[in-house]
C-alpha cells in the first residue's frame, strides 16, 4: 500500500462525506443482510446493494464484498480521491470500465476509555470477497478476538505502550488514545504496511517495527503491553499451511508460554501486559496447573480468565475452516488436515484446548502477590477493562489491609449489586441468598445469613468492625465467630468489586 498523506486525507474526506460509517453500512444493508454478513454469508448484502448508486452501497460492494463496481459509481463515491488516487494508494485496480478492490476497507466503531471512536480499517480481502482460501501471509482485519482484547484492555493513562503482533494496527490505534508513545511490532512486513496506512487514515502516530516477539523492543520498558498473538495451535506436519496471522510457528501452546514467561523483561515496574491465548489441557493435568506454572515462571502478578474450552475435534474444525479448507471444497485435504490435528494433540495427550485472556503485572517492588486463575464461561458485560483495572486496585488495597485494617475500613455495596432470595413456598426464611453483580463478570455469590446481613449493612456509615460486632450480638455467636465467617468472603467481594472501600 502507498503511504501518501495528501491522498489519504482525500480518502478520509470522501469516506466521511459518503457516510461510510458502521451505522451507514447497517442502514444500507438492513438488519438481515448485516447479520448474514457477520455470519460470512454475502447473498443478502449483494441483493441489498445491487444496482445502487448510493455511495455507501457502492463502497460496500467494492470493499466488503469484493465485487467489481462501475468506474462511474466508484468515482462518485470517492470524488476527491478519484480512481487514479485510489489506484495509487493500492486500494483498487481498474479493468475496463469496472474497478475491483485490492483490499478490504471498512468502518470500525467502538467506545473505549476516551469515548467513541470511528475509524476505517484496511486489511486483506477475506475469503468471502475473493472466493479463495486465504494466503498464508494474509493480514487480518478486526475480528472477534481483536474486539475482545480491545475491550479487556485497561485504558488508564500510560507513557509507553507496546502492541505485539499489531496486524492491521487496531490495538495500537486504541492505545494511542491513552498513551504518549505506541510501538507496534509484527513479523509480517505486509501487516506493518496495513498498520501504517490505517494509522495515517486515522490521523494517529505509531512507531512500527518489524521483528519477532520481543526482539524488536528488547531494551525498552513499557507501561502496557497488549498482544493478540498468533496463538493457534497448529500441527507441524509437512504440507500443513502455516498462517502468519494465527500461527507463531511453535509446537503446541509454546508461543503463549514464551510470551507469558518473557513479557516481564519489557515491562516497567507496575507495567501491565494483557494477552489473549490458547492453552493445552493435557491428560492428568488441570488447565490452571499448566497456565499457573507459566505465571510462576514469569515472576509477575497474574490473573488468567479461561473463557472457553474446546475438545480437539472442535478445535481442529474451527481452524481448518478458518483457513478456507472445508469438506465441500476439498474432502481429501479436510480429512488429512483433520487427522494431522488429532495426531498432534494425541502426541501430547491433549484432551481439551482452553481460550482466555491474561492480565500480568510487574510488581512495583518485591515478589508477585496476585495469582488468580478462574473460569468465566458465561456472559460478561464488556468492556471489562475498567473492571480489571478496579480489581487490580482492590487487590492492592487488600494487600495493605490485614484483618485489623479491614475491620477499621468502611465499605459500600456497588450500585450494580442486587440480592436474590430463594424461598420454599410458604416459608418466610430464604433457603438461598445470592448477591448478583449486574456489570463486569456478572458474578453471583452465595451468602449465608451473616454475610447477607453484613453486605446489607455496608452503606459506608459503620465500619466493618462495627457491623461485625452488631451481627455477633444479633446472631448470638460473638463478634469473633462472625469475623472468622465473613472476612474472607468480604475480601473476595472487595476484590471482585461487589463491595467498594469508602475510606
Ligand X SMILES: C[S@@+](CC[C@H](N)C(=O)[O-])C[C@H]1O[C@@H](n2cnc3c(N)ncnc32)[C@H](O)[C@@H]1O
Interface residue list for ligand X (CB under 6 A): 140, 142, 146, 149, 164-167, 170-171, 185-188, 191, 212-213, 228-230, 244-246, 248
Residues 204/205/210/213 CA torsion (nearest 10 deg): -80
Nearer to ligand X, 163 or 301 (CB): 163
The answer to whether the bond into 447 is cis (omega within 30° of 0) is no
**Taking a C-beta distance cutoff of 8 angstroms, is the pair 298, 261 a contact?**
yes
Counting Cα atoms < 13 Å in the Cβ hemisphere of 96 gives: 4
> Could you tell me the smallest distance in angstroms from the CB atom of residue 272 to ligand X?
17
Which residues are CB-contacts of 364 (< 8 A; sequence separation ≥ 6)?
A: 269, 270
> Could you tell me the smallest distance in angstroms from the CB atom of residue 283 to ligand X?
28
> Could you tell me the smallest distance in angstroms from the CB atom of residue 487 to ligand X?
41
Q: What is the CA radius of gyration of the chain?
A: 26
> Could you tell me the smallest distance in angstroms from the CB atom of residue 146 to ligand X?
3
What cell numbers appear for 301 in the block? Answer: 502478578
Nearer to ligand X, 185 or 391 (CB): 185
d(C-alpha 383, C-alpha 358), whole Å: 15
Nearer to ligand X, 229 or 497 (CB): 229
Q: Which of 296, 299, 172, 159 is nearest to 226 (CA)?
A: 172
**Taking a C-beta distance cutoff of 8 angstroms, is the pair 162, 225 a contact?**
yes
> Could you tell me the smallest distance in angstroms from the CB atom of residue 242 to ligand X?
10
Nearer to ligand X, 164 or 458 (CB): 164
Three-point CA angle 327, 332, 334, nearest 5°:
45
**Taking a C-beta distance cutoff of 8 angstroms, is the pair 116, 110 a contact?**
yes
Which residues are CB-contacts of 177 (< 8 A; sequence separation ≥ 6)?
A: 112, 113, 114, 117, 155
Nearer to ligand X, 149 or 154 (CB): 149
d(C-alpha 152, C-alpha 163), whole Å: 14
Nearer to ligand X, 18 or 179 (CB): 179
> Could you tell me the smallest distance in angstroms from the CB atom of residue 154 to ligand X?
16
d(C-alpha 64, C-alpha 71), whole Å: 17
Nearer to ligand X, 49 or 198 (CB): 198
> Could you tell me the smallest distance in angstroms from the CB atom of residue 404 to ligand X?
45
Q: What is the DSSP letter of 67?
A: -
> Could you tell me the smallest distance in angstroms from the CB atom of residue 413 to ligand X?
36
What cell numbers appear for 24 in the block? Answer: 451507514
Three-state DSSP class for residue 355? strand
d(C-alpha 468, C-alpha 125), whole Å: 62
Bridge partner list, 373: 304
> Could you tell me the smallest distance in angstroms from the CB atom of residue 108 to ligand X?
11
Which residues are CB-contacts of 393 (< 8 A; sequence separation ≥ 6)?
A: none
Nearer to ligand X, 103 or 170 (CB): 170
Nearer to ligand X, 189 or 332 (CB): 189
> Could you tell me the smallest distance in angstroms from the CB atom of residue 253 to ligand X?
14
Nearer to ligand X, 208 or 493 (CB): 208
Residue with cell 448508486: 53
> Could you tell me the smallest distance in angstroms from the CB atom of residue 305 to ligand X?
17
> Could you tell me the smallest distance in angstroms from the CB atom of residue 278 to ligand X?
11
Nearer to ligand X, 151 or 306 (CB): 151
3-state helix, strand, coil in the chain (%, to 5): 40, 25, 35
What cell numbers appear for 78 in the block? Answer: 470517492
d(C-alpha 166, C-alpha 175), whole Å: 11
Nearer to ligand X, 8 or 123 (CB): 123
Amino acid at each position: 500500500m502507498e503511504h501518501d498523506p495528501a491522498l489519504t486525507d482525500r480518502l478520509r474526506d470522501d469516506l466521511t462525506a459518503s457516510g461510510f460509517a458502521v451505522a451507514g453500512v447497517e442502514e444500507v444493508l438492513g438488519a438481515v443482510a448485516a447479520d448474514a454478513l457477520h455470519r460470512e454469508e454475502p447473498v443478502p448484502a449483494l441483493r441489498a446493494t445491487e444496482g445502487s448508486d448510493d455511495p455507501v452501497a457502492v463502497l460496500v460492494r467494492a470493499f466488503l464484498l469484493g465485487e467489481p463496481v462501475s468506474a462511474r459509481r466508484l468515482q462518485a463515491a470517492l470524488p476527491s480521491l478519484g480512481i487514479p488516487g485510489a489506484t495509487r494508494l493500492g486500494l483498487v485496480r481498474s479493468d475496463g470500465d469496472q474497478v475491483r478492490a485490492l483490499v478490504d476497507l471498512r468502518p470500525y466503531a467502538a467506545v473505549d476509555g476516551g469515548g467513541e471512536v470511528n475509524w476505517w480499517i484496511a486489511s486483506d480481502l477475506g475469503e468471502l470477497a475473493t472466493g479463495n482460501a486465504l494466503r498464508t501471509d494474509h493480514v487480518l482485519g478486526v475480528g472477534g478476538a481483536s474486539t475482545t482484547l480491545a475491550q479487556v484492555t485497561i485504558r488508564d493513562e500510560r507513557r509507553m505502550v507496546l502492541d505485539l503482533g499489531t496486524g492491521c494496527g487496531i490495538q495500537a490505534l486504541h492505545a494511542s488514545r491513552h498513551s504518549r508513545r505506541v510501538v507496534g511490532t509484527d513479523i509480517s512486513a505486509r501487516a506493518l504496511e496495513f498498520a501504517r496506512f490505517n494509522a495515517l487514515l486515522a490521523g494517529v502516530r505509531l512507531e512500527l517495527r518489524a521483528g519477532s516477539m520481543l526482539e524488536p523492543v528488547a531494551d525498552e520498558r513499557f507501561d502496557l503491553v497488549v498482544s493478540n498473538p498468533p496463538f493457534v495451535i497448529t500441527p507441524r506436519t509437512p504440507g500443513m499451511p502455516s498462517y502468519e496471522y494465527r500461527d507463531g510457528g511453535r509446537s503446541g501452546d509454546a508461543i503463549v508460554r514464551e510470551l507469558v514467561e518473557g513479557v516481564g523483561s519489557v515491562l516497567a515496574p507496575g507495567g501491565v501486559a494483557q494477552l489473549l491465548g490458547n492453552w493445552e489441557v493435557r491428560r492428568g493435568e488441570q488447565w490452571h496447573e499448566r497456565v499457573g506454572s507459566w505465571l510462576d515462571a514469569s515472576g509477575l502478578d497474574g490473573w488468567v480468565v479461561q473463557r472457553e474450552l474446546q475438545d480437539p475435534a472442535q478445535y481442529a474444525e474451527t481452524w481448518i475452516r478458518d483457513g478456507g479448507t472445508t469438506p465441500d471444497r476439498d474432502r481429501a485435504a479436510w480429512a488429512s488436515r483433520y487427522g494431522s490435528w488429532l495426531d498432534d494433540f494425541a502426541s501430547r495427550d491433549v484432551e481439551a484446548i482452553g481460550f482466555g485472556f491474561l492480565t500480568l503485572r510487574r510488581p512495583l517492588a518485591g515478589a508477585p502477590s496476585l495469582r488468580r486463575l478462574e473460569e468465566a464461561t458465561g456472559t460478561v458485560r464488556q468492556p471489562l477493562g475498567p473492571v480489571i483495572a478496579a480489581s487490580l486496585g482492590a487487590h492492592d488495597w487488600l494487600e495493605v489491609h490485614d484483618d485489623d485494617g479491614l475491620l477499621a475500613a468502611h465499605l459500600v455495596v456497588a450500585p450494580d449489586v442486587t440480592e436474590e432470595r430463594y424461598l420454599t413456598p410458604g416459608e418466610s426464611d430464604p433457603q438461598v441468598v445470592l448477591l448478583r453483580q449486574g456489570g463486569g463478570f456478572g458474578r453471583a455469590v452465595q451468602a449465608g445469613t451473616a454475610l447477607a446481613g453484613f453486605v446489607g449493612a455496608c452503606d459506608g456509615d459503620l465500619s466493618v468492625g462495627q457491623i461485625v460486632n452488631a451481627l455477633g450480638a444479633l446472631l448470638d455467636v460473638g463478634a469473633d465467630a462472625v469475623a472468622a465467617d465473613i472476612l474472607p468472603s468480604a475480601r473476595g467481594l472487595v476484590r471482585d468489586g461487589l463491595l467498594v472501600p469508602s475510606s
